Structure 1
Amino acid sequence: MKIFVALFSLFLITSCVQIKQTKPQSTPLYSYDVEQRIDSMGITLTTPPAPVANYVNATRAGNLVFLAGKGPRKADGTYITGKVPSEVSTEEAYMAARLSGIQLLNALKAEIGDLNKVEQIVEVLGMVNADPNYTDHPQVVNGCSDLLVEIFGDRGKHARAAVGMGSLPSNISTEIRMTVLVSE
C-alpha cells in the first residue's frame, strides 16, 4: 500500500510538472507590430521630457497606467498655442490633439517599454483651450482618438470626455490625459 501511495504521489507530481511545461504560450495581442505601425505612419517616438514640477509622467496601479496630461509638443520642442477658434482653427487644434496623443505614447512607451503590451486604451480626457462660445471640442479631441484607433485598432477605442477650458498652461491649445490597460 505504501508503494502504491508513493507511486501515485510521484505520478501526480510528474503530471503537474508536465502540465506546467506544456502550458500554451500566450497569444500576441496584435496581428502586427504596433511600433512598426507607428514608424510606418512617419511618427518618431522620443523620450518624454522630465516633468517640471512635483509629478510624474506615468503612474502604474497593477495593469493600469495613468498618464499625466500632455500638450501638443512639436519635434522642435515648441508647442501649438492659442485659443480655439480665435487664434487656432478647429483643424489646427485637431492636429494639436494628435501631437498631444503622440506625447502620451512617448510617456507610455517610457513606462512600459513595448507598446505591443497595450491591451486597451481605457479612457481619454481631452481639454481644449477654447473661446467661451466654442462648442466643437469633440472634433478637436478626435485628433488624439483617431490616432489611437489608427495605431491600436479596436483596442484604441476608449471612453472619452472632450471639454473646453478657459485657459491651459503656457496657452497650449490642447492638453490630454489617458488611462491604459497593459499586459504584464
Structure 2
Amino acid sequence: MMSLIRMIKPQTLATAVRNVHVERKLKELGYTLPAVAEPKGNYRTSVRSGNTIYLAGHLPQPAGGDLILGKIGKDLTPEQGYNAAHYVALSLMATLKQEVGDLDKIKRVVKLVGFVNCVDGFSQQPVVINGASDTIGKVFGDKGIHARSAVGTNALPLNVAVEIEAIVEIEE
C-alpha cells in the first residue's frame, strides 16, 4: 500500500482526498441535491468568467418535490421562508456541481443576493435568507461565509417564496 501511495504524485493524492469532502458533508447533513432546473427564459443558470461563476436566480424546490410558493407574512411564515431558502441553497449547489464537476473546487462563496416574496411591512428578510446562508456555511465551512443582500419584494416569478443568486470563486 505504501509503495502505491509513493507512486502517486502528492498533488494527485491531495486532490483525491479533497474530492470527497463536500460530498461527504452533504451526506452527513442528510442533504440531497435536486436535479438542475432548465432556464425558464433566454439565459443560462450559470456563467463562468475566469475563476468566477455567476449563478442566476434559483428557486426553492426540494429534490423530487414541488416549488415552494407563496408570500411570506400571508401564505407562509418566516420559518417556512427560511426552509425555502435552504432548498434554494441546495439548488445553487446542484448547478455548481454541474458546472465544475466537483464541489471541492469551490474556493469561496463570494456573495448571495436573496429576494423574498413578502407582504408590505415585512422586515425579516435577513431571517429568511439565513436559510441559505446557514446551509452553505454548514456545507462549505469558512469558505462558505459570504457577503449578502436580503431584499423584500411584492412578487417573484411563478409566485415562489424566495429567489437567490450567487457569485462563487473556484480554484484553477
Bin of the TM-score, shorter chain as denominator length: 0.7 to 0.9
Code of the residue aligned with 1:38 in structure 2: it is L
CA contact (8 A) 2:35 2:63 kept: no
State the match for 1:96 in structure 2.
84
What's the TM-score, normalizing by structure 1? 0.82
- Give me the whole-angstrom Cα distance separating, in 2, the residues matched to 1:46 and 1:32: 19
State the match for 2:127 in structure 1.
139
RMSD between aligned residues: 2.0
Code of the residue aligned with 1:144 in structure 2: it is A
After superposition, give the CA deviation of every residue in 1:103-124 in whole Å (9 maximum; x if it has no partner): 1011111000000001100000
Residue 115, structure 1, aligned to residue 103, structure 2? yes
List structure 1 runs of 4+ shifted beyond 4 angstroms.
26-32
In terms of mean alpha carbon deviation, does 73-82 or 104-113 score higher? 73-82
State the match for 1:25 in structure 2.
11
Give the deviation of 1:132 after TM superposition.
Answer: 0.8
Give the deviation of 1:90 after TM superposition.
Answer: 0.3
State the match for 1:13 in structure 2.
none
Whose radius of gyration is greater, 1 or 2?
Answer: 1
1:38 to 13, 19, 26: 26
Give aligned-pair identity as a percent: 38
User: Aligned pair in 2 of structure 1 residues 164, 30: CA closer, same or farther (>3 Å)?
Assistant: farther
- Give me the whole-angstrom Cα distance separating, in 1, the residues matched to 2:149 and 2:18: 27
State the match for 2:64 in structure 1.
76
State the match for 1:155 in structure 2.
143
CA contact (8 A) 1:47 1:110 kept: no
SS of residue paired to 1:49: coil
CA contact (8 A) 1:84 1:128 kept: yes
Give the deviation of 1:150 after TM superposition.
Answer: 0.2
SS of residue paired to 2:165: strand
CA contact (8 A) 2:33 2:63 kept: no
| Number of residue pairs the alignment of both structures matches | 162
Give the deviation of 1:30 after TM superposition.
Answer: 6.2
- Give me the whole-angstrom Cα distance separating, in 1, the residues matched to 2:63 and 2:73: 23
Give the unaligned 5+ runs of structure 2. 1-8
State the match for 2:162 in structure 1.
174
State the match for 1:85 in structure 2.
73
- Give me the whole-angstrom Cα distance separating, in 1, the residues matched to 2:155 and 2:34: 27
1:62 to 50, 54, 61: 50
- Give me the whole-angstrom Cα distance separating, in 1, the residues matched to 2:114 and 2:61: 15
State the match for 1:17 in structure 2.
none
